């Protein structure tokens, strides 16, 4: 746990951890908690009586907080928090305040599992209902669900030679994370131990054993578990990419969540090597080859969530790259729902959505999607093709690589090893009687010419380009060497897009400091119309304290009207084209973004970071 996480520990900073001699000691019992709740005016006499009648029947192995949390109590009173359902979490927070200790909701990704497992054994943790969550040179922070049972603290202080600071956490979280953290720490240790015995080369031998279906030994099982844990956590945290990065002393594991990387765990290099070997094996990659970049693919199954969320197939694309300290592995996780996403899920505004639907209903022509890597171009194209794919049309793609398999399309992958690039693939595909074609990317004149030929012979062609904005795509095609008259004859629309993080609905707050003038300034020379109701990022457990959860597309759509085509001539005047496009209804990316700010969906910082300024675009 780092500084950031400590800052989230609510309540006053570390008061004396041990209650005085007169205070009650030992395990929490429901009668005491009931009396305290009554004393604090949180429950009434009738509730207290109801609880007693229910619990008196017999003892329970459940923690007193969990038992009370299931009793359906509601906080009395008129002040803030009244009417709140007193579930286990709410009661934990209350109890922390009652004991004058900070309350902590454990964030598993912020806990350095390897280090905290050294503080106490799993048996000790389970017995004391306590779990170390952070170890620094200055202190050990231990989460407990038994704030009155603190006799063990002196033992741990002696063992770690550091002061112990207690925080109070939900007993259910403690139980779950104690099991998980210690299982994980054991797996890492087992993997590390076998690495120390015979050097990292031995992992290849272990993995080879797996290949011949012989039984794996216990040490290898450690690696298997660490990899399973890694994927499970990545899915739970909605990560889009997992990075395994060998560094000088340690291996760093990082997740990309909503476009931002978070370091989640550090493992010894030998363990990381073993993890990489296992993942490569599962991805049918050459495990021995470490000097060349490789790629592969894994299909795995996401287990059903504890909250009842459905399991499903998850596809991951793997790529390795030799770096100074070893082989770096990146796994890109493809959301199985990405292909079945409907157009309406892309986050088009009403204006762009209607124009896009008209555009893709045209029988032939070229439609381009532009934006930097990771701006969601493929997601847009898949959703669009999916909306067009019907029994009576042949939808073909040539991609590098195929990101998601969609049964409604005929998908082909570029294979540079046998000289089948986009242009060659497209040529072959034209003999396959296609109606709608998607070319992964137009990178060269040969591909551009094939795409134009396809459009001229009555096909609808989709592709992508790397340009800053929509008008830039027309310029780029001309730069590649496509004659302007052919651009004008075939390109019917260009969609420029970006992704912006959207505010976490659970914690966002009204931003009264952001005025309409500021928003108008951001989109000058444009002006906003309609109401302005901006929100700001706050941060809660739901959004990993970033204030954002999920991302939405920002779009700029250029449709080429007859008048706009006039601007596409040998002396291509991109300014004139832009002016005409605006007359035809183009709204720049930033304007679309700021409209989402005004609607309270994202923030101005997020939009400014992700979009070019309107007057500079072009």
Residues lying near Zn ion in the complex (CB under 5 A):
504, 506-507, 540, 542-543
Mutual angle of helices 171-198 and 269-282, in 10-degree steps: 90
Which residue is closest to Zn ion by CB? 504
Task: State the nearest-atom distance from the C-beta of 596 to Zn ion, in Å.
Answer: 18
**Which one, of 98, 114, 82, 91, lies nearest residue 23 by Cα?**
98
Nearer to Zn ion, 371 or 600 (CB): 600
| Residue 117: both structure tokens together | 């497992």
DSSP state for residue 131 in the 8-state scheme: E
Instruction: For residues 395 and 409, give the distance between their C-alpha atoms in angstroms, rounded to a whole number.
Output: 5
| Residue 270: both structure tokens together | 């030998």
Nearer to Zn ion, 73 or 504 (CB): 504
Up-side HSE of residue 91: CA atoms within 13 Å toward CB? 29
Neighbours of 491 (CB within 10 A): 24
Instruction: For residues 469 and 497, give the distance between their C-alpha atoms in angstroms, rounded to a whole number.
Output: 8
Nearer to Zn ion, 173 or 469 (CB): 173
Strand 130-135 to 140-144 pairing:
antiparallel
Up-side HSE of residue 297: CA atoms within 13 Å toward CB? 10
DSSP state for residue 305 in the 8-state scheme: P
Nearer to Zn ion, 8 or 243 (CB): 8
Instruction: For residues 200 and 38, give the distance between their C-alpha atoms in angstroms, rounded to a whole number.
Output: 61
Neighbours of 306 (CB within 10 A): 8
Instruction: For residues 487 and 414, give the distance between their C-alpha atoms in angstroms, rounded to a whole number.
Output: 25
Up-side HSE of residue 89: CA atoms within 13 Å toward CB? 7
Task: State the nearest-atom distance from the C-beta of 175 to Zn ion, in Å.
Answer: 25
DSSP state for residue 108 in the 8-state scheme: G
Task: State the nearest-atom distance from the C-beta of 550 to Zn ion, in Å.
Answer: 11
Task: State the nearest-atom distance from the C-beta of 260 to Zn ion, in Å.
Answer: 14
Task: State the nearest-atom distance from the C-beta of 597 to Zn ion, in Å.
Answer: 17
Q: Are 313 and 334 in contact (CB under 8 A)?
A: no
Nearer to Zn ion, 257 or 269 (CB): 257
Nearer to Zn ion, 196 or 542 (CB): 542
| Residue 46: both structure tokens together | 């009738």
Q: Are 437 and 460 in contact (CB under 8 A)?
A: yes
Nearer to Zn ion, 5 or 274 (CB): 5
Task: State the nearest-atom distance from the C-beta of 538 to Zn ion, in Å.
Answer: 6
Nearer to Zn ion, 313 or 542 (CB): 542
Nearer to Zn ion, 405 or 506 (CB): 506
* Run of H or E including 202: helix 201-211
Nearer to Zn ion, 507 or 514 (CB): 507
**Which one, of 150, 142, 28, lies nearest residue 91 by Cα?**
28
Residue with tokens 């199954």: 301
Nearer to Zn ion, 443 or 508 (CB): 508
Residue with tokens 């991609």: 399
Nearer to Zn ion, 490 or 602 (CB): 602
Task: State the nearest-atom distance from the C-beta of 5 to Zn ion, in Å.
Answer: 15
Per residue, what are the HEC states of 120-164?
Answer: CCHHHHHHHCEEEEEECCCCEEEEECCCCCCCCHHHHHHHHCCCE
Instruction: For residues 59 and 62, give the distance between their C-alpha atoms in angstroms, rounded to a whole number.
Output: 9
| Residue 92: both structure tokens together | 């934990």
């Amino acid at each position: 746990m780092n500084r950031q996480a400590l800052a989230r520990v609510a309540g006053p900073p570390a008061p004396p951890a041990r209650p005085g001699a007169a205070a009650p000691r030992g395990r929490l019992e429901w009668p005491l908690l009931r009396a305290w709740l009554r004393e604090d005016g949180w429950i009434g006499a009738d509730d207290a009586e109801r609880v007693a009648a229910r619990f008196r029947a017999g003892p329970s192995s459940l923690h007193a907080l969990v038992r009370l949390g299931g009793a359906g109590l509601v906080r009395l009173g008129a002040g803030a928090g009244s009417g709140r359902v007193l579930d286990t979490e709410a009661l934990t927070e209350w109890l922390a305040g009652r004991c004058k200790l900070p309350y902590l909701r454990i964030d598993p990704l912020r806990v350095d599992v390897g280090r905290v497992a050294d503080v106490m054994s799993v048996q000790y943790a389970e017995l004391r209902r306590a779990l170390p969550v952070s170890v620094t040179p200055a202190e050990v922070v231990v989460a407990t669900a038994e704030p009155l049972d603190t006799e063990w603290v002196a033992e741990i202080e002696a063992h770690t030679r550091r002061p112990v600071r207690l925080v109070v956490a939900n007993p259910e979280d403690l139980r779950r994370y104690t099991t998980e953290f210690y299982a994980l720490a054991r797996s890492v240790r087992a993997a590390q131990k076998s690495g120390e015995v015979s050097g990292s080369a031995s992992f290849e031998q272990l993995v080879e054993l797996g290949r011949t279906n012989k039984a794996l030994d216990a040490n290898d099982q450690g690696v298997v578990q660490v990899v399973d844990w890694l994927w499970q956590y990545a899915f739970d945290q909605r990560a889009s990419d997992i990075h395994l990065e060998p560094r000088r002393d340690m291996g760093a594991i990082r997740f990309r969540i909503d476009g931002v990387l978070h370091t989640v765990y550090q493992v010894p290099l030998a363990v990381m090597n073993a993890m990489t070997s296992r993942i490569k094996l599962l991805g049918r990659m050459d495990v021995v080859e470490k000097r060349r970049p490789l790629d592969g693919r894994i299909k795995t199954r996401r287990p059903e969530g504890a909250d009842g969320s459905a399991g499903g197939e998850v596809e991951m694309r793997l790529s390795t790259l030799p770096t100074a300290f070893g082989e770096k592995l990146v796994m890109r996780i493809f959301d199985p729902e990405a292909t079945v996403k409907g157009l309406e899920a892309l986050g088009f505004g009403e204006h762009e959505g209607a124009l896009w639907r008209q555009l893709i209903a045209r029988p032939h022509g070229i439609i381009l999607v532009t934006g930097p890597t990771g701006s969601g171009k493929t997601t847009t194209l898949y959703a669009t093709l999916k909306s067009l794919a019907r029994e009576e049309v042949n939808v073909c793609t040539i991609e590098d690589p195929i990101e998601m398999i969609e049964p409604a399309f005929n998908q082909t992958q570029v294979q540079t090893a046998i000289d089948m690039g986009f242009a060659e693939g497209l040529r072959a595909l034209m003999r396959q009687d296609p109606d709608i074609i998607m070319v992964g990317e137009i990178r060269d004149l040969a591909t551009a010419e094939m795409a134009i030929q396809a459009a001229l012979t009555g096909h609808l062609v989709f592709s992508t380009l790397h340009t800053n904005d929509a008008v830039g795509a027309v310029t780029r095609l001309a730069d590649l060497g496509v004659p302007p008259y052919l651009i004008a004859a075939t390109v019917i629309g260009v969609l420029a897009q970006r992704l912006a993080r959207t505010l976490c609905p659970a914690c966002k707050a009204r931003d009264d400091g952001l005025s309409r003038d500021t928003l108008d300034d951001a989109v000058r020379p444009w002006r906003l119309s309609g109401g302005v109701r901006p929100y700001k990022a706050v941060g809660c457990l739901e959004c990993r304290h970033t204030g954002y959860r999920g991302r939405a597309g920002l779009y700029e759509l250029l449709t080429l009207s007859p008048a706009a085509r006039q601007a596409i001539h040998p002396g291509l005047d991109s300014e004139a084209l832009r002016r005409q496009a605006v007359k035809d209804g183009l709204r720049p990316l930033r304007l679309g973004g700021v409209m989402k700010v005004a609607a309270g969906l994202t923030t101005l910082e997020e939009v400014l970071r992700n979009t070019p300024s309107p007057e500079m675009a072009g």
